[in-house]
Amino acid sequence: MAKRQTKKTDDTQQKIAQLEEQVKRSLADYQNLEKRTKEERGQWIRQANKDIITRLLPVLDTLILASEHVRDEGLVLSIKQFLDILRSEGVEKIETVGAGFDPALMEGVGTVPGEEGKVVQEVRPGFRYTNEGVLRPAKVIVGKEGMVNS
C-alpha cells in the first residue's frame, strides 16, 4: 500500500510540474502577445502621424511661398509656430543651402553655375522624421562648375 501511495504522490507531483510548466508557457505567450500588440499599436500611431504630417506639408509650402512675396509678421509667426509643432513631433527640416547634394535627402531639379555638388537654392523644403527617415525629400538646385551662363 505504501508503494501505491508513493506512486500516486509521484504521479501527482509530476502532474503539478506539468501544470506549472503550462502556466509558465501561457504567461510567457501572453507577455509576448502584449509586447507585440504594444509595438504594433506604436507603429500604427507613427504611421498615422506620418500620414497627417505629410498631408499638412503642402500647407506649409503655401505659407512659405506667400511669405516670400508678402512681408507680414503674422505670417512669419505662423510659419515659425508650424515648424515648432513639427519639431515637437520629431520632424525636422532638412538643411540644404550650402550643403553637399545628398540624393538620400534631396531631389535635384536643376543645375546652375556654382560650386560643384553644393546646393545653391532650395525650391521646396524637405523634412525627415527623427529615427524614421525622410518624410519628403527637399527639391534643390545644385551648383555645377564649368557651366556657361547664357
- Per residue in 71-130, pLDDT (tens digit) is 899 999 999 999 999 999 999 999 999 999 999 999 999 999 989 999 999 999 999 998
Distance of CA 107 to the CA centre of its chain: 19
Q: Strand pairing partners for 92?
A: 128
- Do residues 119 and 141 touch, judged by C-beta distance below 8 A? yes
- Dihedral over Cα of 49, 52, 55, 57: its sign: negative
- Do residues 127 and 113 touch, judged by C-beta distance below 8 A? no
Q: What's the grid cell of residue 67?
A: 511669405
CATH topology of domain 91-150: Nucleotide Exchange Factor Grpe; Chain A, domain 2 (2.30.22)
Q: Determine the Cα–Cα distance for residues 50 and 48; give it in Å rounded to an integer.
A: 5
Question: Quick one: pLDDT band at residue 149, thresholds 50, 70, 90?
Answer: low
Give the CATH number of domain 1-89; options: 3.40.50, 3.90.20, 1.10.10, 1.10.760.
Answer: 3.90.20
Among 95, 85, 93, CA closest to 49: 85
CATH 2.30.22.10 segments of the chain:
91-150
DSSP code at position 114? S
CATH 3.90.20 segments of the chain:
1-89
Question: Quick one: pLDDT band at residue 148, thresholds 50, 70, 90?
Answer: low
pLDDT at 5 > cutoff 80: no
Q: Strand pairing partners for 91?
A: 129
For 29-52, the pLDDT digits (tens) are 999 999 999 999 999 998 899 999
Name the residue with higher pLDDT: 145 or 119: 119
CA terminus-to-terminus distance, the chain: 111
Q: Name the 3-class secondary structure at 89.
A: coil
Question: Quick one: pLDDT band at residue 1, thresholds 50, 70, 90?
Answer: low
Amino acid code (one letter) for 99: A
